[in-house]
Chains A and B, each alone.
Chain A
Amino acid sequence: MAAQIGTVLGIGLVFLGFGALLLRRSLIWKLLGLNVASGGAIVFLVALSHRPGAVPPLSGYPEGTPSADPLPQALVLTAIVIHFATLALSLAYAISLTERFHTQETGRIEAASEEEMER
């Protein structure tokens, strides 16, 4: 049951994030949406590998009990680090653009930066 709730929650978060990315005009909101969506993908990966009653496969765990699958955990850790790096970089770019154009609206930032290229 927990696994089903988790997978549905994960996919729901991905849709929510993508929705915010499409519908919001503010750059910060878009980046937040992107981060919610990547969080959803991570929840989805964790939930898929859930096994009822499993214990961590550390040394000395009781014989015969099902062990949790360590591979998805390793994947998720890697993915979290990558998403963190991407978010940090995108926020740094967002700060640089906002300082230059004094707006967070993506349409205006896009138009203003294209204009700067023409000069």
Chain B
Amino acid sequence: MTAALLGVLGYFGFGIICFLIPRARFLSALALVCGTISFAVWAPGFPRGHLGLGDWAIPWEGDALAAAFWGLSLFLHAVLLLEEVGKPRHFYALLTLLFGTVLSLVLSRDLFNLYVSLELTSLIAFLLVGLEGRAAQVWASLKYLILTSCGMILYLLGVGFIYARAGSLSLPALSAMPPDTAIRLGVGLLLAGAAAKGGVFLYAQWLPTAHGYAPSSVSAVLSGLVVKMGIVAMARIAGAYGAGDVLVALGLITGFLGIYHAFWEKRIKVFLAYSTMSQLGYMLLGFGGGDWGGALTYAVAHGLFKPLLFLAAGRAEDEAGTHLIQRLAGKLMLSTRLGLGLGTVAIAGLPPLAGYAAKGLLFLNLPPWGKWALFALSVGTAASFSKLLPTIVRGRKGWKPTWGQFTLGLVVVGGGVALCIGKASLLAPSSLISGLGAIAAGYVVFHLLRKLPFRPPHWRLDESLLALFLAGCALLFWVLLH
């Protein structure tokens, strides 16, 4: 039990020292070593415990979810340390603190502890998004701040309702309560608040610009890891209260609306951000349907190929001097194109890469309608990513790979192959055909639809706020009538 907490403390300690001492990258690596040792010690036992005294102790538990996210964040930390050399020291300091907060968040089983961790990840993320100080980045960060703060106010009200009724903030105590009006109201507010933090479409319209305009390595960690913390909070709350169907509905909304926007988006990183919103739908479908294993595998797989795509997209923007997808073709180096290409086929679900294996595992345990929804989402993903093909195929010959992208690519391939070997049903002809069929169908859909004059709405601040409040009210009424 102390091992896990020492790992978190190590991260916070080294993170704060990073601000003070010039060799910040080295100190951040020390935090990584500290976290890895702690993970190796606590993970085999899945410990649980209480932090603090008597009635007010904060419950925490290391379960499969915590272990999956610890593994993912330690790995992404290593990748970013390999990728980013010679940045200012506050960059490494904020990054270390961000990873430390994520490590503590996934262990927590207390509503208020979750609130503080969520707010801390947001605060560090606001700073990281606006770090370079370009106007668009500052505005994206401010929009992120305003919308998530609204969500967190809703969350705080929810905490108040639950505490007034249950007299406790721990999630195990919440699951033992008979659901009455106050508890329902509280759970509705908590879910709406966590959805605003967790990148669910309509609740979190800050995501396209915040992830799309941030520096690429920051986008990679925000999309790969941090945005899923809201999803983790939703999964924990809905799991304690028994509101899986709400998560499934939110998953379908964010899955399909995200695809719809991604399909028409022209700016490469904003396109990847919309795709993240739709990918979160897969995880919500898994968590809501009770298949935590599938949802976690998908969360980790997405946490591998989406950072690869963001890092490659950042290189592509630098090499071509533009962020419009149609102008990138012909200007990118072979190494960048390989990174983009591997990420694209992985997210589209080409066997036997990580995207295919995770999607296949999620597919196994869904009810029939869920299988159809997942298949439709896969077709949409393949269709929206088809527009990157000219960029990947045509380009220059230059070869300048980066260590971060290389490591990510290796794990995307290796992890997928390992999963396919471990789970024989993934290599059965029927699942291979459905995987390849989705890609082929997506390519056809892309060519059928791309000439149509649809343009999805532009989400400015006021529209985003209105969407958050209206969708929050709808969620609240639904949980009240639950």
Contact = CB atoms under 8 A, between A and B. Distances in A.
Interface of A: 11, 14, 17-18, 21-22, 27, 30-31, 34, 37-38, 40-42, 44-45, 48-49, 71-72, 75, 78-79, 82, 85-86, 89-90, 93-94, 96-97, 100-101, 106-107, 109-110, 112-114, 116-117
Contacts of A44: 157, 160
Interface in B129-165: 130, 133-136, 138-139, 141-142, 145-146, 149-150, 153, 156-157, 159-160, 163-164
A31 B143 CA distance: 11
A86 B123 contact: yes
A82 B116 contact: yes
A4 B431 CA distance: 59
30 contacts: A17-B153, A21-B146, A21-B465, A22-B462, A22-B465, A30-B461, A41-B153, A41-B156, A41-B160, A42-B156, A44-B157, A45-B159, A45-B160, A48-B164, A49-B163, A72-B163, A75-B159, A78-B116, A85-B123, A90-B142, A93-B130, A97-B139, A97-B142, A100-B135, A110-B460, A110-B461, A113-B138, A113-B139, A116-B135, A117-B135
Given A22-B465, A45-B160, A71-B56, A34 B142 contact: no
B134 A117 contact: yes
A71 B163 contact: yes
B90 to A, nearest CB: 14
Nearest to A72: B163
Contacts of B145: 86, 89-90, 93
Contact of B150 (A18, A72, A97): A18
A94 B465 contact: no
A93 B135 CA distance: 10
B190 to A, nearest CB: 13
Interface in B455-472: 460-462, 465-466, 469
A51 to B, nearest CB: 12
Given A48-B163, A82-B116, 20 more contacts: A22-B462, A27-B142, A38-B153, A38-B156, A44-B157, A45-B160, A71-B163, A72-B163, A75-B159, A78-B116, A85-B123, A86-B123, A86-B149, A89-B145, A96-B138, A97-B139, A109-B139, A110-B461, A113-B139, A117-B135
B55 to A, nearest CB: 9
Interface residues of B, number: 37
B283 to A, nearest CB: 27
Contacts of A37: 150, 153
Contacts of A101: 135
Nearest to B156: A41
B119 interface: yes
Contacts of A11: 157
Interface of B: 56, 112, 115-116, 119, 123, 126-127, 130, 133-136, 138-139, 141-142, 145-146, 149-150, 153, 156-157, 159-160, 163-164, 169, 213, 323, 460-462, 465-466, 469
B369 to A, nearest CB: 36
B124 to A, nearest CB: 11
9 closest pairs, A vs B, by CB?
A117-B136, A113-B135, A113-B139, A41-B156, A113-B136, A48-B164, A93-B142, A82-B119, A45-B160
B427 to A, nearest CB: 45
Nearest to A46: B160
A80 B341 CA distance: 47
Contacts of A100: 135
Contacts of B157: 11, 14, 41, 44
A11 to B, nearest CB: 8
A89 B156 contact: no
B159 A110 contact: no
Contacts of A97: 135, 138-139, 142
Nearest to A110: B460
A60 B203 CA distance: 49
A109 B143 CA distance: 11
Nearest to B323: A117
A52 B400 CA distance: 70
